[in-house]
């Protein structure tokens, strides 16, 4: 793989950019792989990447029904933070956040990780208590966060109205090294690195069946023919139920639409990410200048990648109230993705009832920020059979009543 650098750019500039190679190859599937990952989104590609990088397992295929990075990886609002309450959540999200810090260098692909800070606003007494609890938990988890006053919130985000008549801002939980990254670049950077390690990324290839023998996986059937494997990782987010059904087991998840929108681009006016959970909205400004806005999920099972407009209304209303200056901006584009939500709204990274099949799903509305940590942990689970990072996230926890509930601290899982 030819390195990307300012020097490479300069070199290519003088030969009309003819020397740039394909970022990833376009292979036909082999007959057999050690590991097949289904789903070339961020989580699937990161899993493959860490299988190769951490465990030297490179006879890997990543199979994608559409185009790589085309699901929720390319549809989310790109927020990265790890200020979670529960230990197991904080561990995997902080692992992810710390990997984001060096991802551009590790992948030799600028994913534009921008640790610009994330503030979660407290607008009720119970949110104050919830976030102070999170701050205390984070202090013991090695996650750097702080509780900040309304005045400090205003200093960090001058465009915010902290004295709204309905929900004045009472403070916030601030993670200075949280931020955003360029979502497509994360998928592309991983894809390039995986391809460089000799892994096959096979796009436009749908898995139509999962083949097992005596309770153990032996391969998959695809629209490009059957492919054998020793281990199979299912990393398909909203379609996890559909794929699990092909393997003969069920998952405790439901798929619903999550919507987002952007404004037209304006000059920089907000340097941090703000989440206002009482009013259900969050906003950041992209490097292009668009205000990137999201809210809560739609209510019903849905696979259409379209949502209902009244949720957009609710979100915009909340943010116009919190940031009055956006009133005169315009909504440029709205879109939706399908997120998979579990019974405790925390993810599943787990062995399954079928030997050799591992599942990574249920990230709900919060998957992007977890991508590198999820890939790291999933690779460990698949390579070694266990991982301290995935331990609590097993799919059998619901049977024992051992939930990982983040909503308890007035938090949401975005």
Partner 1 sequence: MSTRLANAGRLVNKNKAVSFTFNGKNLRGFEGDTLASALLANDQMMVGRSFKYHRPRGVVASGAEEPNGLVNLGKDNTFEPNQRITTTELFDGLTATSQNHWPSLEFDVGVINTYFSRFMPAGFYYKMFIHPRPFWKHIYEPMIRQAAGLGKAPKDRDTDTYEHFNASFDVMVVGGGIAGLAAAHSAGQSGARVMLVEQTADWGGRAVVDMPSIDGKTAQDWVADTVQALENMPNVTIRLRTQGSGVYDHGYVLAYERLTDHAPENDGPRHRLWRIRAKQIVTATGAIERPLSFAGNDIPGVVLAAAVRDYAINFGVSVGDRTVVVTNNDDAYRTAITLKKAGLDIPAIIDARTSAEGDLIDEAKALGIRVEFGKGIAKVKGGKRVTGVAICNQAGEGAVIEEISCDCVAMSGGWSPVVHLWSHCGGKLIWDADQAMFRPDPEKPPLGADGAGFVVTAGVANGHLFTAEVIADGFAAGRSAAKAAGFKAKAAQAPMGEDAHEGPLAPVWLMPQGASHALRSKAWLDFQNDVKVSDVQLAAQEGYESVEHAKRYTTIGMATDQGKLSNINGLATLAKSLNAEIPNVGTTTFRPPYTPISMSVIAGVAKNELFQPIRKTPMSDWHTANGADYEPVGQWRRPYAYVRSGETVHDAVNREVVNTREKLGLLDASTLGKLVVKGPDAGKFLDMMYTNMMSNLAVGKCRYGLMCSENGFLSDDGVVARIDEDTWLCHTTTGGAERIHAWMEDWLQCEWWDWKVYVANVTEQWAQVAVVGPNARKVLEKLGGMDVSKETLPFMQWADGTLGGFDARVYRISFSGELSYEIAVPASQGRAFWDALLAAGEEFGAMPYGTEALHIMRAEKGFIMIGDETDGTVIPQDLNLQWAISKKKEDFLGKRAQERSHMADPNRWKLVGLETVDGSVIPDGAYAIAEGTNANGQRNTQGRVTSTYYSPTLKRGIAMGLVLHGPDRMGEVIEFNKVDGTTVQAKIVDQVFYDKDGEKQNV
Partner 2 sequence: MLTLHCPNCGVHADETDLHAEGEAHLKRFASGSSDDDFHDYMFQRQNPKGVHFERWKHVYGCGKYFLAARCTATLEVFGTYSAQTHEPPQAIKDAITAKRPGWSWGDFS
Helix axis angle for 87-101 and 125-141, nearest 10°, is 70
Q: Which residue from 409, 411, 404 is spatially nearest to 88, judged by alpha carbons?
A: 404
Smallest distance from the beta carbon of 228 to partner 1, in angstroms? 26
247: left (phi over 0), alpha (psi -120 to 50) or beta: alpha
Under rule CB under 8 A, residue 304 binds partner 1? yes
Contacts of 137 by beta carbon, 8 Å cutoff, 6+ apart: 85, 86, 87, 90
Q: Does position 352 bind partner 2 by CB under 8 A?
A: no
Pairing assessment for the beta strands 291-301 and 281-285 based on DSSP bridges: antiparallel
Residue of 147, 224, 252, 383 that binds partner 1 (CB under 8 A) = 147
Q: CA-based angle 108:359:67, to the nearest 5?
A: 50
Picked from partner 2, partner 1, none, the partner binding residue 405 (CB below 5 to 8 A depending on kind) is partner 1
* β-bridge partners, 259: 336
Q: Which does 30 bind (CB under 5 to 8 A by kind): partner 1, partner 2, none?
A: none
Does residue 325 belong to the site contacting partner 1 (CB under 8 A)?
yes
- Binding region for partner 2 (CB under 8 A) out of 186-194, 217-225, 237-245, 316-324: 237-245
Q: Give yes or no for residue 128 binding partner 1 (CB under 8 A).
A: yes
CA–CA gap between residue 349 and residue 211 (Å, rounded)? 21
* Binding flags for partner 2, 271-310, as an x/- string (CB under 8 A): ----------------------------xxxxxx---xxx
CA pair distance 318, 389, nearest whole angstrom: 35
Partner whose binding site includes residue 388, from partner 2, partner 1, none (CB under 5 to 8 Å by kind): partner 1
| Minimum distance from residue 289 beta carbon to partner 1 (Å) | 3
What track of x and - describes contact with partner 1 for positions 269 through 288 (by CB under 8 A)?
A: x--------xx-----x-xx
Indicate whether 242 belongs to the interface with partner 2 (CB under 8 A).
yes
Measured from the CB of residue 402, what is the shortest distance to partner 2 in angstroms?
Answer: 12
Q: Any contact of residue 365 with partner 2 (CB under 8 A)?
A: no
Task: Report the candidate in 407, 163, 157, 176 with the shortest Cα–Cα distance to residue 282.
Answer: 157
Sheet containing strand 273-276, strands side by side: 146-148, 171-175, 118-122, 273-276, 281-285, 291-301, 253-263
Please, which of residues 106-135 interact with partner 2 by CB under 8 A? none
Residue 124 CB contacts under 8 Å (≥ 6 apart), including other chains: 167, 170, 278, 410
403 contact choice in partner 2, partner 1, none (CB below 5 to 8 Å, kind-dependent): partner 1
| Smallest separation (angstroms) from partner 2 to the CB of 190 | 27
**Beta pairing partners, 97:** none
Q: How far is the CB of 15 from partner 1 (least distance, A)?
A: 10
Do the bridges between strand 200-202 and strand 60-63 make them parallel or antiparallel, or are there none, so unpaired?
parallel
**Binding partner selected for residue 330 from partner 1, partner 2, none, CB under the kind-specific 5 to 8 Å limit:** partner 1
By CB under 8 A, name the one of 225, 332, 353, 355 that touches partner 1.
332
> Nearest approach, Cβ of 254 to partner 2 (angstroms)?
5
H-type alpha helices, 14-74: 42-55
When binding is defined by CB under 8 A, the residue of 135, 220, 251, 273 that contacts partner 1 is 135
Region 246-265 residues binding partner 2, contact defined as CB under 8 A: 250-255
Burial label for 223, CB within 10 Å (0-12, 13-18, 19+), is: exposed
Given a contact cutoff of 8 angstroms between Cβ atoms, the answer to whether 112 and 63 are in contact is no
Which of 27, 30, 126, 215 is the binder for partner 1 (CB under 8 A)?
A: 126
The CB-of-124 to partner 2 minimum distance in angstroms stands at: 23
- Which residues would be at the binding site for partner 2 (CB under 8 A)? 239, 241-242, 250-255, 299-304, 308-310, 342-343, 398-399
């Amino acid at each position: 793989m030819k390195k990307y650098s300012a020097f490479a750019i300069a070199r290519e500039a003088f030969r009309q950019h003819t020397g740039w190679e394909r970022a990833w190859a376009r292979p036909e599937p082999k007959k057999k792989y050690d590991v097949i990952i289904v789903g070339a989104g961020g989580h699937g590609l990161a899993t493959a990447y860490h299988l190769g990088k951490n465990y030297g397992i490179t006879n890997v295929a990543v199979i994608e029904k559409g185009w790589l990075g085309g699901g929720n990886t390319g549809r989310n609002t790109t927020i990265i933070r790890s200020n979670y309450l529960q230990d197991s959540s904080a561990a995997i999200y902080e692992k992810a956040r710390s990997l984001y810090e060096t991802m551009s260098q590790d992948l030799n692909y600028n994913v534009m990780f921008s640790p610009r800070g994330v503030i979660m606003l407290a607008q009720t007494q119970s949110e104050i208590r919830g976030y102070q609890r999170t701050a205390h938990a984070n202090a013991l988890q090695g996650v750097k966060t702080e509780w900040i006053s309304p005045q400090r919130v205003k200093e960090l985000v001058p465009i915010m109205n902290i004295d709204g008549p309905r929900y004045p801002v009472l403070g916030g939980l601030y993670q200075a090294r949280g931020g955003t990254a360029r979502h497509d670049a994360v998928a592309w950077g991983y894809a390039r690195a995986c391809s460089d390690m000799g892994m096959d990324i096979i796009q436009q290839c749908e898995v139509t069946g999962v083949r097992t023998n005596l309770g153990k996986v032996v391969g998959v059937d695809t629209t490009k023919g059957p492919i054998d494997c020793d281990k199979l990782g299912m990393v398909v987010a909203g379609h996890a139920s559909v794929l699990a059904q092909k393997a003969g087991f069920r998952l405790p998840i439901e798929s619903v639409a999550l919507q987002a929108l952007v404004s037209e681009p304006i000059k920089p006016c907000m340097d941090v990410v703000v989440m206002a959970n009482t009013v259900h909205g969050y906003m950041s400004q992209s490097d292009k200048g668009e205000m990137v806005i999201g809210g809560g999920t739609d209510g019903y099972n849905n696979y259409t990648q379209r949502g209902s407009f009244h949720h957009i209304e609710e979100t915009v209303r909340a943010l116009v109230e919190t940031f009055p200056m956006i009133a005169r901006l315009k909504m440029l584009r709205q879109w939706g993705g399908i997120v998979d939500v579990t019974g405790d709204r925390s993810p599943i990274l787990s062995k399954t009832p079928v030997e050799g099949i591992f599942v990574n799903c249920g990230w709900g509305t919060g998957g992007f920020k977890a991508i590198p940590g999820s890939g790291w942990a999933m690779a460990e689970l698949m390579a070694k059979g266990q991982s301290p990072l995935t331990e609590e996230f097993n799919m059998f926890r619901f049977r024992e009543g051992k939930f990982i509930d983040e909503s308890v601290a007035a938090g949401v899982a975005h």
